């Protein structure tokens, strides 16, 4: 790790003077309590030491109250000063949330991104031809799609809609690198995105019959002579009622037969259309759903079947529990799940009333800090917190930062919609809480705080730009940085960790010529970003 070229100031705390504090020790100090015990044994400071790290307050712009901060943090990709102003301008967190739920809004902040990668808008036929001509591989198109998603999440002004689009694409997972789906995967995003705050019944019909889903789970090649059971099985097991809920192999076979006819001319024209001559006809029965299924055009029976599954009480329970795990905590109270399921059914599978009931619940209000950010959420929140701006490529895919952002996400442990199995990526804390993931996140926080990588095609704030005044006490500076990066005040633990990182005392006067600004600022910023306040949502 890079060492500072200047000696330690005289007012460095005693425990930091012998040598630079390790990143591990800094995280321990920043975490405190039970979190610290998971890293190193906690050592209780004496009263004099505790008093020396009493935070000072910077009088910045007004912050959100705890309840509003919790709501906005849980339903966004990271609180920023700009988002704080938007929430306050809306009249508080609940009013902001209601505006976010309104249909028909445009996301002006992300509109320009659509032109950054023109290949995303090409037809499946053109993408395939470019692939076989070795002009642009399908995997390259999908990597650009993932970068587009990351930049959308960094810049969006409609985070609730963006989060729900992500949630449903994970629930109805079509991996971006699944065989052959690159021609239709961006359109699949469009279809899910348009219905992310609508009715699940309509979303389910559109997603299950989409060519991308059909190719991924083999329904695109399923015929009446050789029905493929992949999609029919996963539809029951993962997308709706859930595994083990009173269906058997005969139900799975009928499920597959109902879905025959939705074909894609794979490896040739890539045309997607419904072919009545490929639809299996005859009586079908899946749990409580029965149909004569006599018409070669089976689209009506498929829609009726999907509508039945969407309205099934077990589907309501499954969707309700998954929303509660994502937005409340890993072990949501059954009473909350029951309330959300009833709301879902009472409103004809509409999602917005369920989200309203969720945020109004006691369980949600009591769950602040209970959800760990997954690697993608961490990276996006870090870009947002640092206020960096990725510049538009002069030519497609020639912005080094736009390329690097996907590598960064992969280095932490996950990239958007790359989970290879149909069950979608985990949304629980344990899956994303390993020591290896924490160290990888710390590395990204540090390299970005130092403006070292990515360092082209991106605009960072200079260290002097973070100073709230020409000269300021270090403890006041830390409070200002906490407000900017976390949307909250500093704590004794964070102040102590920052003092150790910068090798200064709380009362040290900092100006643009001070060594903290010249050499140590990346360590101060990354210490705050390594804290639980940033790593949780």
pLDDT band for 282, please (50, 70, 90 cuts). Answer: very high
- Residue 139: count other Cβ atoms within 10 Å of its Cβ: 12
Tens digit of each residue's pLDDT (9 = 90 or more) over 5-54: 333 333 334 333 333 445 554 444 444 433 333 332 333 444 555 568 99
Sign of the CA dihedral 392, 168, 358, 369? negative
- CA gap 121, 124 in Å, rounded: 9
pLDDT at 47: 52
In the numeric block, the tokens 């040598």 are attached to 19
Q: What are phi and psi of 402, to 5 degrees?
A: -65, -30
- CA gap 498, 2 in Å, rounded: 17
435, part of any domain: yes
Tens digit of each residue's pLDDT (9 = 90 or more) over 403-444: 999 999 999 999 999 999 999 999 999 999 999 999 999 999
Cα angle: 474, vertex 57, 28; to 5 degrees? 60
Q: What is the mean pLDDT of the chain?
A: 90
Find the mean pLDDT for residues 261-285. 97
Which H helix or E strand runs over 505?
A: none
- Which has the higher per-residue pLDDT, 4 or 100? 100
Give SS3 for 274: strand
pLDDT at 246: 82
In the numeric block, the tokens 């799609």 are attached to 145
442, part of any domain: yes
Label residues 36-67 b or e (16+ Cβ within 10 Å = b).
beeeeebeebeeeeeebbebbebeeeebbeee
394, part of any domain: yes
156, part of any domain: no
pLDDT at 479: 98
- CA gap 334, 340 in Å, rounded: 10
Q: How far is CA 9 from CA 125, 431, 502, 522, in A?
A: 65, 42, 10, 18
Number of Cα atoms under 13 Å in the Cβ half of residue 194? 11
Find the mean pLDDT for residues 301-330. 98
Percent of the chain whose pLDDT exceeds 90: 84
Give me the domain span that covers residue 427: 375-459
- Which has the higher per-residue pLDDT, 296 or 394? 296
Residue 445 has pLDDT above 90, yes or no: yes
Q: Is 106 exposed, middle or buried (0-12, 13-18, 19+ CB in 10 A)?
A: exposed
Q: In whole angstroms, what separates CA 166 from the centre of its chain? A: 7
Structure tokens at 480: 């200002």
Find the mean pLDDT for residues 318-339. 98
Which H helix or E strand runs over 426?
A: none
Q: 74, 31, 65: which is closest to 329 by C-alpha? A: 74
Tens digit of each residue's pLDDT (9 = 90 or more) over 81-138: 999 999 999 999 999 999 999 977 778 778 888 788 999 999 999 999 999 999 999 9
CB 476 within 8 A of CB 410: no
Q: 401, 420, 438: which is closest to 151 by C-alpha? A: 401
pLDDT at 39: 33
pLDDT at 23: 52
pLDDT at 49: 55
356, part of any domain: no
402, part of any domain: yes
In the numeric block, the tokens 């949330």 are attached to 97
Cα angle: 518, vertex 379, 389; to 5 degrees? 60
Residue 209 has pLDDT above 70, yes or no: yes
pLDDT at 37: 31
* Number of domains the chain is built from: 1
Tens digit of each residue's pLDDT (9 = 90 or more) over 172-191: 999 999 999 999 999 999 99
288, part of any domain: no
Label residues 174-195 b or e (16+ Cβ within 10 Å = b).
bbbbbebbbbbbbbbbebbbeb
382, part of any domain: yes
- CA gap 320, 317 in Å, rounded: 5
Q: 532, 536, 534, 533: which is closest to 35 by C-alpha? A: 532
Residues 6+ apart with CB under 8 A from 104: none
């Amino acid at each position: 790790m890079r060492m500072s070229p200047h000696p330690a100031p005289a007012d460095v705390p005693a425990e930091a003077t012998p040598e630079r504090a390790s990143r591990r020790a800094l995280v321990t100090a920043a975490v405190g309590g039970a979190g610290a015990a998971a890293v190193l044994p906690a050592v209780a400071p004496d009263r004099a030491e505790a008093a020396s790290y009493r935070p000072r307050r910077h009088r910045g712009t007004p912050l959100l109250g705890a309840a509003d901060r919790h709501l906005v943090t849980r339903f966004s990709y990271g609180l920023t000063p700009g988002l704080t102003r938007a929430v306050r301008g809306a009249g508080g967190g609940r009013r902001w949330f209601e505006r976010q739920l309104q249909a028909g809004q445009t996301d002006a902040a992300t509109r320009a991104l659509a032109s950054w990668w023109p290949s995303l808008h090409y037809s499946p036929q053109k993408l395939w031809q470019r692939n076989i001509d070795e002009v642009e591989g399908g995997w390259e198109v999908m990597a650009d799609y993932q970068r587009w998603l990351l930049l959308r999440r960094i810049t969006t002004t409609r985070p609730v809609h963006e989060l729900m689009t992500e949630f449903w694409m994970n629930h109805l997972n079509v991996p971006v690198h699944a065989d052959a789906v690159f021609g239709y995967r961006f359109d699949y995003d469009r279809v899910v995105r348009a219905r992310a705050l609508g009715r699940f019944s309509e979303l389910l019909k559109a997603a299950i019959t989409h060519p991308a889903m059909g190719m991924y789970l083999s329904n695109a090649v399923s015929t009446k002579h050789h029905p493929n059971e992949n999609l029919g099985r996963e539809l029951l097991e993962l997308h709706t009622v859930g595994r083990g809920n009173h269906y058997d192999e005969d139900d799975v076979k009928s499920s597959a037969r109902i879905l025959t006819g939705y074909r894609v001319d794979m490896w040739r024209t890539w045309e997607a259309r419904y072919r009545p001559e490929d639809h299996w006809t005859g009586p079908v029965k899946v749990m409580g759903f029965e149909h004569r299924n006599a018409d070669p055009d089976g689209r009506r029976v498929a829609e009726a079947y999907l509508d039945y599954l969407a309205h099934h009480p077990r589907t309501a329970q499954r969707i309700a529990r998954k929303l509660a795990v994502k937005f409340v905590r890993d072990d949501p109270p059954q009473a909350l799940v029951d309330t959300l399921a009833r709301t879902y059914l009472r409103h004809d599978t509409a999602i917005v009333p369920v989200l309203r009931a969720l945020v109004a619940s006691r369980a949600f209000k009591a769950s602040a800090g209970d959800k760990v950010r997954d690697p993608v959420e961490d990276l996006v929140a870090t870009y947002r917190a640092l206020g960096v701006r990725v510049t538009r490529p002069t030519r497609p895919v020639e912005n080094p930062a736009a390329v690097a952002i996907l590598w960064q996400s992969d280095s932490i442990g996950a990239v958007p919609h790359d989970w290879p199995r149909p069950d979608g990526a985990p949304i629980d804390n344990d899956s994303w809480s390993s020591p290896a993931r924490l160290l990888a996140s710390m590395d990204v926080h540090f390299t970005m705080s130092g403006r070292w990588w990515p360092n082209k095609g991106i605009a960072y704030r200079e260290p002097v730009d973070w100073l709230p005044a020409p000269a300021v006490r270090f403890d006041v500076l830390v409070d200002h940085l906490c407000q900017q990066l976390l949307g909250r005040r500093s704590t004794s633990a964070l102040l102590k960790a920052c003092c150790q990182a910068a090798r200064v005392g709380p009362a040290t006067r900092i100006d643009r010529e001070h060594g903290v600004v010249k050499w140590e600022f990346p360590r101060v910023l990354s210490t705050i970003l390594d804290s639980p306040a940033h790593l949780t949502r």
